[in-house]
Amino acid sequence: MRILGIDPGLATMGWGVVDSEGSKCGLVKCGAVITPPDMPIQRRLHHIFLGVKELIATYQPEEIVFEELFFAKNITTAMNVSAARGVALCACADSGLPMYEYTPMQIKQAVTGYGKADKMQVQQMVKMMLNLPAIIRPDDAADAVAAALTHAASGRMKEQFLMK
């Protein structure tokens, strides 16, 4: 199964494509859709929309997984990232593919065994799990790959994470 993982963001939206067969996973490609801060918001969102559409067309995933948003304080950042997530969801909805979401804690738990692991622990485990020569950069791409790996490991339990 081919899984597209997405870590929503306005400035940097991480993505990762993973092939999963049984308990084996392999990284196909990962990266980020980047929008410059001096670009008008509507152009940034349109760029993200087109970027996600291109990822789906290029990599032909069977399922798509998002990292759920979590914000503690900054409402402005939350609104912008929510808008970016919304256009990414719209681009994915056009494909008709099933979409799933996992919380950051669920992803950390699945990848490291500890739900409060830090970013470096997650990145190191993703590197080890996929037998990569180096940690994935940028961080947002590593997070997207971790989300895809979480989904690959969820097996029959994945239906409880289906977006409704």
pLDDT tens-digit readout, 79-136: 889 999 999 999 999 999 999 999 999 999 999 999 999 999 999 999 999 999 999 9
Contacts (Cβ under 8 Å, ≥6 apart) of 75: none
Structural domains of the chain ordered from first start: 2-161 (3.30.420.10)
Assess whether pLDDT exceeds 70 at residue 141: yes
Contact 148, 22 (CB under 8 A): no
Assess whether pLDDT exceeds 70 at residue 71: no
- Averaged pLDDT for residues 22-48: 96
Active site residues: 7, 67, 140
Residues in the chain: 164
Assess whether pLDDT exceeds 80 at residue 70: no
Task: Give the residue carrying structure tokens 């308990």.
Answer: 23
Contact 134, 127 (CB under 8 A): yes
